[in-house]
Every structure is written in C-alpha cells, then in structure tokens.
Amino acid sequence: MTERFDAIVIGTGQAGPALAVRLGASGRKTAILERKRIGGTCVNVGCIPTKTLIASARAAHVARRGAEYGVVIDGPVRIDMARVKARKDEVVGQSNRGVTNWLNHAPNVTLVEGHGRFESPRTIRVNDRLLEAPEIFINTGGRPTVPDVKGLDGIPFLTSTGMMDIDFLPEHLVVIGGSYIGLEFAQMYRRFGSRVTVIEMAPRLVAREDPEVSDAIKAMLEGEGIAFRLNAQCLAVQKRDAGVAVHVSCEQEPRDIAGSHVLLAVGREPNTHDLGLEAAGVAINARGYIDVDDELRTSVPGIWALGDVNGRGAFTHTAYNDYEIVAANLLDHARRRISDRIPVYALFTDPPLARAGLTEREVRASGKPALVGKMMMTRVGRARERGETQGFMQVLVDAETKKILGAALLGIEADEAIHAIIDVMAAGAPYTVITHAVHIHPTVAELIPTLLGNLQPLQ
C-alpha cells in the first residue's frame, strides 16, 4: 500500500533535517529518509570529527612547543590514540543524537530508516515501503572518490571515512591527494607522531588557490616535517612487507614511496548512482551531479536537489544555504538564488586558510581594474603574542566600485577574521566600511583596515 505524504526529503545531511522540520512546521506531512547515520557526512565523518581530531593534534603541537612559552613539560609528549578517537566519537555522538532527537520530536515529521530509490517522479521505495509525495527533496550528499589506480584492489587503503575508525598511530601515512581533505589529515597525523608523505599529481598543492598561497602552505607543512612529492604522475600501488609502496613516477627517482598506510584523498563524488533517478526523469550532468536551476529545482517539476549532490557547493554552509533558499522560496514566497551566494570556505590546517570571493588569478582573468593589499602575519600583534606568525593576508578590491572582490587570509584565526570581509561583501558595501569601523585590539581582524589603507594597483 502506498503511504501518502505532502513532502519527502531523501538524506539527513546539512540541508535535509532543517528543511524537513520547516516543512513539518508549515503543516506538511513530511517523511525524511536516511540509509546510514543521521546527520550525514559533516556530523559523522566530515567537519565535526576532523575538527575534533585537529583540536587534539593542536594540543599535542602546543604541548611540544611548551618550552617556548615558558611552560615546562618534563618528558616527551605522548599521544593516546584510543583516547583521541574516544573524544572524537563523543563529540560526534552529541551532534548525531542532537539531530536524531530534533527529527524525532518535530511536528509532522516521520524519520524513515533505509535506502530511498525513485520508482516514479512522485514515489520512493524504502525497503518494502512505497512512499508518495507531490514534493520531493534530494539531499543525498557524496562519498570519497576511489580513483582508478593500478594495484588498488590488491592493497588495504583508507578514505576520509575509514580514517574515522583509526585508534592507533600509522607509522608512515602516505596521503594521495594534496588538497583540502588530504592536507588536514596530513598535518593532524604528523602532529600525532606519524611520518607523513603527501603525493600530489599537480605541480602544486591546493591547485585551486593562488600559487603564493599553495607555496606558503607547503612551506608551513614542510616546517613540521611533512614530505611532499608533487608532479606525481604514473601512480600505482602494491603491497610491500607489512605496508604499501606507492609508485609515483615512471621517470624521476625515487620512483616508489614506501609507507605503512595509504589514505586516498582525491575528491568526492555525488550519491546519485543508486537513487533511481532515471525512473523519475531527473537529469544529471556528465560528472553525475544533479542539474539544478538557480532556485535548486531539478529538471522534474516538484523535485529539488540540495547540498553536495547538486555540485553547486561542497560545504556544510553551502548545503545549509541551499535549505534556506528552498525554504524561503517555497514557504515565504521569496526569490532567493544560489547565484547571489559568495564563495567562501576554509582549509583547516593550523593556521587555517580562509577564502572569500575571487582569487588573484580569477581577478586578473576578469580584466577588472583592481587594487590589492597584503600584509604578512609577522606584523599582526595577536600572531606575535601567540608565537604563531606564519602566513599572510591578501584582499583584492575593485578599483572603480571599491567593493571587495576576494580575500585569502592564511594565518591564526583567519577562519574567524574573514567574516569581517564576508559580511561587507554580502552587504555589497565598499571596503571603506571596514576602514571606518573601530575594531577590537589586539585581534587579527583589527589589521584588516590597516591592510586596506595601503591598497596598490594590481600589476
């Protein structure tokens, strides 16, 4: 027998639960489906656990540097990986239970556990149940990409998800992929005490960023003892003794890097392959992402796609913003659009890289006359007081409108300080709003007006 609802949400990631609760509150009888862990990637195997582990790794790092601050620790710093993992599991558990409770107590919301698959544009099969609704919202997220590397089927390997179960210290972690997720794990495990090598096929790390940013991040991580192999073409892996050997080059020596464990961190792909989208007629692009318009509507009326699955963002904040757009347009008769969103994100190395808007390369390519301001973190009082002066801050401004085009802040507390810039960009206000404001001393953000007071033409 078909069970009728007013709305069905597939997936409990960063958009689904908030949307289901709002739909329920609007009086719609709503079903929300989850096949694995409530809360999705961010809560269970993404942002929350990684940032919790990064906090443990930072504690170890600061403890090792204790003597520089006059704090004497007699004896070496030891890491108890079982406790590190238990702490992570506790923090994740709190969030996971929080979302579960929220959904279980939301009016008009029914949580259905199981894998959902379209049988038609209005019906979803979950185990032996058939659910029907005139409005369906897809929030199925993504999963780590397992690349086609020779020998991979013959070795045990880890992905970001598998890393969540580790309660021991890998002797030598070889990270394949020198981008956002790979670098966070690389620094974290180096600080826990592993030897770490990062293998990247491109000529530089986080290749989406400006070369200056990539170089500064590489120098910072090399300073902590992480080894890099860039331009690693001709990848292959094989079992060697108790570990693995990663073949990194067909010409250049050394050709192999031997490690105890391999982490694959080469990107993510959307969970669209097992959703029965063809039965609903929902169009996907060549990379498997669901095609959506500016208001998250798919090619089929009555079906929306939110979060990583639509390829229009790859972050918790973009997934949540998708929810806000859909809810506002559907329930509040607003006209919010994804194209109004400013790209913002952080790489949570320590210190972090925080980004907003365009890179310098993108500004140059746009041909706009632009101004640029840059300041090394060595000039920031807060950084000197904390003994953490790595990095720099750079802001790009439109020379005609005085609006901020983009910013890259690499340094302590950059992930918080960037919001002074993001909010002015979102308001469409000129950078002079920041230079005229009074900021709190001593902070990182207080130096942004000083930086903006010394803008030069971008050559």
Say whether 227 sits in a helix, a strand or coil: strand
- Report the residue number, 15 or 245, with the smaller CB distance to ligand FAD: 15
- Cα separation, 86 vs 83, whole angstroms: 5
- Report the residue number, 51 or 240, with the smaller CB distance to ligand FAD: 51
Mask 251-290, x = binds ligand FAD (CB under 6 A)? --------------------x---x---------------
Residue 41 binds ligand FAD, judged by CB under 6 A: yes
- Report the residue number, 136 or 235, with the smaller CB distance to ligand FAD: 136
DSSP 8-state assignment for residue 340: G
Site for ligand FAD in 330-369 (CB under 6 A): 348
In the block, residue with structure tokens 């790859």: 314
- Report the residue number, 269 or 398, with the smaller CB distance to ligand FAD: 269
Of the listed pieces 74-82, 137-145, 290-298, 333-341, which binds ligand FAD according to CB under 6 A?
137-145
> What's CA 337's distance to the chain center, in Å?
21
- Pick one of 141, 311, 351, 352: the residue that binds ligand FAD (CB under 6 A): 141
Least distance in angstroms from the C-beta of 188 to ligand FAD: 11
Residue 419 binds ligand FAD, judged by CB under 6 A: no
- Pick one of 19, 20, 23, 33: the residue that binds ligand FAD (CB under 6 A): 33
Residue 139 binds ligand FAD, judged by CB under 6 A: yes
Looking at the chain, the number of H-run helices and the number of E-run strands are 13, 24
Residue 56 binds ligand FAD, judged by CB under 6 A: no
Contacts of 152-159 with C-beta under 8 Å, sequence gap 24+, read 152/237, 154/237, 154/238, 154/239, 155/237, 155/238, 155/239, 155/244, 155/262, 156/244, 157/237, 157/244, 157/262, 157/263, 157/264, 158/261, 158/262, 158/263, 158/264, 159/263, 159/264, 159/265
Catalogue the E-assigned strands of 206-348: 227-229, 236-240, 243-247, 256-259, 261-264, 268-270, 303-305, 344-347
Q: Which residue is nearest to ligand FAD (CB)?
A: 141
Instruction: Please indicate whether residue 105 is annotated as part of the active site.
Output: no
DSSP 8-state assignment for residue 342: P
Handedness of CA 120, 122, 125, 130 (dihedral sign): negative
Residue 314 binds ligand FAD, judged by CB under 6 A: yes
Least distance in angstroms from the C-beta of 153 to ligand FAD: 23
Of the listed pieces 138-146, 244-252, 421-429, 444-452, which binds ligand FAD according to CB under 6 A?
138-146
Q: How far lies 140's CA from each of 17, 23, 29, 124, 125, in Å?
A: 12, 18, 20, 14, 15
Q: How far lies 246's CA from each of 186, 239, 252, 264, 418, in Å?
A: 16, 9, 14, 12, 38
Least distance in angstroms from the C-beta of 418 to ligand FAD: 13
Residue 160 binds ligand FAD, judged by CB under 6 A: yes
Of the listed pieces 81-89, 99-107, 133-141, 214-222, which binds ligand FAD according to CB under 6 A?
133-141
- Cα separation, 340 vs 426, whole angstroms: 9
Least distance in angstroms from the C-beta of 254 to ligand FAD: 29
Residue 35 binds ligand FAD, judged by CB under 6 A: yes
Catalogue the E-assigned strands of 249-403: 256-259, 261-264, 268-270, 303-305, 344-347, 353-357, 370-376, 392-398
Catalogue the E-assigned strands of 248-389: 256-259, 261-264, 268-270, 303-305, 344-347, 353-357, 370-376
- Cα separation, 41 vs 99, whole angstroms: 13
Least distance in angstroms from the C-beta of 393 to ligand FAD: 20
Least distance in angstroms from the C-beta of 448 to ligand FAD: 22
- Report the residue number, 159 or 390, with the smaller CB distance to ligand FAD: 159
Least distance in angstroms from the C-beta of 374 to ligand FAD: 26
- Cα separation, 6 vs 145, whole angstroms: 35
From 105, 333, 436, 441, the catalytic residue = 441
Least distance in angstroms from the C-beta of 33 to ligand FAD: 4
- Report the residue number, 116 or 373, with the smaller CB distance to ligand FAD: 116
Site for ligand FAD in 178-207 (CB under 6 A): 181
- Pick one of 23, 99, 319, 444: the residue that binds ligand FAD (CB under 6 A): 319
What are the residue numbers of the active site?
A: 441
Binding site for ligand FAD (CB under 6 A): 10-15, 33-37, 40-42, 46-47, 50, 115-116, 139-142, 160, 181, 271, 275, 307-309, 314-317, 319, 348
